[in-house]
Structure 1
Amino acid sequence: MKQEIKVPAVGESITEATIGSWTKKSGDFVKRNEVLMLLETDKASVEVVAENDGVLTINPGCEAGAVVQIGATVATLDTDAKPAAGAAAPAAETAKAAAPASAPAGAAALPAAAGKDASAHLSPAVNRIVNEKGLDPSAIQGTGKDGRLTKGDVLEAQPGAKPAAPKAAPASAPTGAPALPAAASKQGDKKLVPMTTIRKRISEKLKEAQNTAALLTTFNEVDMGKVMELRSKYKDKFKEKYGVNLGFNGFFVKAVVEALKDFPAVNAWINGTDIEYHNYYNIGIAVSTEKGLMVPNVKDADTLSLAGIELAIRDLAAKGRDGKITPNDLGGGTFSITNGGVFGSLLSTPILNFPQSAILGLHKIQDRPMAINGKVEIRPMMYLALTYDHRIIDGKEAVSFLVKIKELVEDPERLLLEV
């Protein structure tokens, strides 16, 4: 029975996808639930698995890199076929079968010692000249240490030369260090790799944000001392009870939600000639993956506890790393947070996740001298950056929004009590 393998629906607004790669090839016998291919859309990567055992046949024009329509048949699976017997012979038997039992009659055998000494341990420069000139290394007498071939030996040799009798090694090594083989130049060594569908979409969205929004960034700094103390005190009990680490992102998500309630324009965006306000809080968390930067979002973050937020962030990060992010995970965000501090960034100006109107940038926590009540103290400080669309958010709102986040994070008891 031939079973069609079709491109699955991966989102309401998505009509086509790109075949990123096939993990199997035509003629392969595959088992049920094995991954056959990876589909890429402008929002996510989706794995397509075999629904039954069978032999795979990929349709013409459906190779890696092909753009296919949702619902199109890209391959078939012959569920009646069985694995070919003896399809893969053991390597040792294959090598044994390929090797002749004895040398052909009349063939001249090469001296074993000469062949071994001359051809072993060729330097990269010597090996390149040997290949370019089509030389037989065993036919060249080496003048280097232990009879090894030097660059000079192979430059002077002529193709077709017969094996030479070994010469006696020199009584002593020549004075002075031998000249090192010249390193091959890498000028012009480059390759072109097509952009993935996701990378193209990331580029388009970032450029759209720059071309459309009136971007402006405001900065502040937050003393992370109290949050760090709270985290240090309860992290073990938190992990034991909820099965997830107590990080810093959860505190900032809760602070952002409270600040958005006070400044609703930051949770809105421009829709044509209207301002679209949102009475829900879907907070995007930027995740760096092999495919590129993705921003899945924590849905209804205002309804979640600190533990619920941390669990949601953990699950989204895992899905991003495993290539299992869905369009639903990526869609619907109203505000985003990006944390360059995990890579060591001290300060940055993040770009909007368009059409959103603002994004919060977190950075590295660094001990710095601060003036506290007339005295200099060393405090763990973090710079905050808020990039916003000045068309909809005034400077006063942006600065006040960021100050609100600073006040809440510096007073985590107030944040958790929501007072």
Structure 2
Amino acid sequence: MTQTQTIARPALKIGPYQVDPPVVLAPMAGITNVAFRRLCREYGAGMYVCEMITARAVVERHPGTMHLMTFDEGEHPRSMQLYGVDPATMREAVKIIVGEGLADHIDQNYGCPVAKVTRKGGGAALPFKRRLFGDIVRASVEAAEPAGVPVTVKFRVGIDDDHHTFLDAGRIAEAEGAVAVSLHARTAAQRYSGQADWSRIAALKDAVRTIPVLGNGDIFSADDALRMMAETGCDGVVVGRGCLGRPWLFGELEAAFAGRPVPEGPNLGEVGRVLRRHAELLIQHDGATKALRDLRKHMAWYLMGFPIGSELRRAFALVSGLDELDELIGRLDHDAPFPADALGPRGRQGSPGKVTLPHGWLDDPDDPCVPEGADMMHSGG
């Protein structure tokens, strides 16, 4: 066991909800469905955000989107991330969500760096348009306020090193009624490459004085989370790629924030048990065929660093049934210890590159017009 050094901190509150420990699961498309959130919640408290939901799809009652908006019976608060680029559509979507009691907290996504989103002015491109950004936040807050549902906002440092937007975005979100902001300390041009610049989180904390600031980027261990809070003064942390194939990270974080020894990583036998539990929860949500197909992408993350051989690793990546999964888990060396070198980045790192933007997007940051065609998307990337 390792012992981390705790830091004195006030309790994190997201609107009426106390988040203890001050840890939020970042919404990740295709990952943070109800099954994965349930698995993570079994290890520790905090706030667990569902996959990104597109406002237009809510308004149109898109069947696939309504299925994504599933929460576990014991999940509280039910936290939903909503994506949109049109204030009117966002207002209508929020009215539906709060009017029908579909969520207890709404987070808005302005951090997606994917080209299909930014080329239409959405995601990490949108905060450059200050008036439009403010209009969307205000419309969402006004729609959520009668039901007492808090709205938070997540964004990146900016489009690239020449176009930082995070300080303006933080101040605008604060002024328009958001109850907290989260910063992924990379630009859209960086995608997930290189290192997150935590000094930007400290700068945002200095700029935003009346609501909590959460930090996101390169939290792969409990020590990383405590160090981010100590170095930046942020009020909480948002964990994304660090928990891929490691849902027990939330138990380690809970121990660290409580000042308890952080448990050692699980041996391969325990990892196999967690993998089996993940499969069961996915089957409950999606049925066996889709669940096992979906589970395949998690295999490399669960088995990262363990010496299991290429043949067995390939077999896990192609698993198609629960009996087959059980047989493969039985072939693992259950006593193999958790590898010390498996605590780093997980998921796609990618490489930095030019951000695709609509023609003339950078001409006028105060243009409040809705980007053409962006509101018709049913996925935010």
Q: Which structure is higher in strand share?
A: 1
What interval of TM-score do these two structures reach, taking the shorter chain for normalisation? under 0.3
TM-score by length of 1: 0.19
Q: Which structure is higher in helix share?
A: 2
Structure with higher RCO (Cα < 8 A, 6+ apart) = 2
